[in-house]
Structure 1
């Protein structure tokens, strides 16, 4: 019996050591980064702000959901769960508008000191002295942050659906569920865009304060100053609208919308509005001939996805471009103790 117990003990320890040896350096780095994010005070404070915004928007939507549901003039009045994310009484903006401001802050907060803080503290040099590839470090920084962000927004989505089911007793339709999931995916990609930007800046700049201020400056420029500059440019260079034909007005309005969509916030707002409001048929200007005879009714999910697809691919392309640039800079960077 003693021999059997000893053999069982050694077999168990051997199995545990084998599992530990099979744990790749990438998984170890991901676990470490997730733990650092979850236990950091700045992430906890920003998470509390996002949760407070979510519950405040949900409370206001619940308070006005009866009036929104009974408004037959609204083509989207039958989509109860979409109204929970888009309805408001005017006291505060709806949730998707607030997320266009909070999501960049979440991405910047989780990535502005991803590389430079570890290099300044000397931990990056000790980490690279181990059998760990450089690309594993950068991938672990991005993957762990995106894992936390995806978990957060998927949990908020399920919490919103559960709260709506508990308080209203109305069963959610499959189209509503898929639209809400699409909105969550769009929000995750939007946060990932600013996360890639902040990681790239953390590689490019030596100090964390410089990368944080640069990322915040880029966000403020596209959020506040870029629309102002576009309006000033329109007044200075485009002719007076009173002397234009209808076709020229449509062409100029389409040009203006294309210029405005350079801003990531505009792409996110267009995509979120289309996913949460099925009655939206176009994101660009339309002529009277196109509007004549059109019945205000919700679009199928497939057609809404076709409208949103350029916005989603634009945010994805920007995220991939910034991450590729940070990868290039980090692989060519000389790191010394």
Structure 2
């Protein structure tokens, strides 16, 4: 009897100990996730590759700001004439992001070109570098969920993107206040804020694409080249392919009515919007150029009764809502594929 009672007590205490340890493990999970995020964020900051790209982006944005400042007087004169004829505002601070004197591209051009490279540089070796060093199996042998690793790498890279591009945006605004001598209006500030958020979403797509290739390919060089190949395809060749398709679709000899022309042009625009670069370009144009009131062809009947002048911020956001939704959807799809592939992979010790 005593032996049976002793066994029951031992089993009871063992069950209690296991439940306490499990409860401690649950409570320590958030802290473990944040520890991985801090570690990855620190590694990104200390990486020479990221530092070099960050300095290049900073110098490029400063150069674009300089060209905008040198040509801001001409832009003010032109905007003043438009304001007199249309009764609109000048939107000087928005022109700091869009105006260029021709020697260097504008701020949004640099972001559209260098932003994807920065996202790819953050993500192309996120997983395969850990696997090649042999640290992936040792890290996953710890009492932490496997998805913490890929989630923490994405969160750390996203935090770095937010820090960098919001700092650049505030830097441009600060120089604009010092040089122009006037603060931005509340609507200009909101447009710049949404523009920076759009930049983060756009770069997050290329970040997740790099993470996806880092999960699929074991070689870091292969994942980097694959990511850059996709970027070059959408940045250079995709528009060429669509232009070739549009020549056959918009052949004047085959078009018989205005409605058919509009339908064919709508088809060409739909094909172009499969490119994340084109979605980003359309969205930034509407956000930073309020005088642009449409993203597609309009008939004379559609323009009758339209009030000349810039769009309010709410209407601009409604106009780019499909583009923003498409970018977010593409980002989530890339991350979901990378997440599922990583969770199903077999991790072996070297």
Query: TM exceeds 0.5?
Result: yes
2:94/2:289 contact within 8 Å kept: yes
Partners of 2:67 and 2:101 within 8 A in 1: yes
Distance in 1, Cα, partners of 2:256 & 2:103: 39
**1:61 matches 2:73:** no
**CA positional deviation for 1:295:** 4.5
- Distance in 2 (CA, whole Å) between partners of 1:314 and 1:325 is 17
- Give CA deviations for 1:264-288 in whole Å, capped at 9, x if unaligned: 0000000011100001111111112
Question: Aligned residue for 1:134?
Answer: 146
Write out per-residue CA displacement over residues 108-137 of structure 1, whole angstroms, 9 at most, x where no aligned residue.
000000000100110111101111211100
Q: Is the counterpart of residue 172 in structure 1 residue 170 in structure 2? A: no
Which residue of 1 is the match for residue 24 of structure 2? none
Q: Secondary structure at the match of 1:148?
A: helix
Local SS of the residue matching 1:92: coil
- 1:92-151 deviation line (CA, Å, top 9, x unaligned): 221112211111101100000000010011011110111121110010000000000001
TM-score (norm 2): 0.87
Give the 3-state SS of the residue equivalent to 2:198 in structure 1. Answer: helix
Aligned residue among 207, 213, 219 for 1:207: 219
Aligned counterpart in structure 2 of residue 299 of structure 1, from 306, 311, 332: 311
**Distance of 1:335 and 1:26 partners within structure 2:** 20
2:57 maps to which of 45, 50, 57 = 50
- CA-atom RMSD in angstroms: 1.7
The answer to whether residue 280 in structure 2 is matched with residue 268 in structure 1 is yes
Aligned pairs for 1:88-127 within 5 A: 88-127=100-139
Tell me how far apart the structure 2 counterparts of residues 210 and 28 of structure 1 sit (CA, whole Å).
Answer: 30
Deviation at 1:247, TM superposition (A): 1.7
* Equivalent residues of 2:249, 2:264 under 8 A apart: no
Greater than 6 Å deviation, 4+ residue runs: none
* Structure 2 match to 1:31: 38
Structure 1 242/70 Cα, relative in aligned 2: closer, same or farther at 3 Å?
farther
Q: Any unmatched runs of 5+ in structure 2?
A: 1-27
Q: Deviations over 1:181-232 (max 9, x none)?
A: 0100000000000001110110011111111111111111111111111122
2:253 is the alignment partner of 1:246 = no
Deviations 1:238-282 (A, max 9, x none): 543674322211111111011001000000000011100001111
Correspondence 1:137-156 to 2 at 5 A: 137-156=149-168
In structure 2, do the counterparts of structure 1 residues 242 and 279 end up closer, same or farther at CA, with 3 Å as the change threshold? Answer: farther
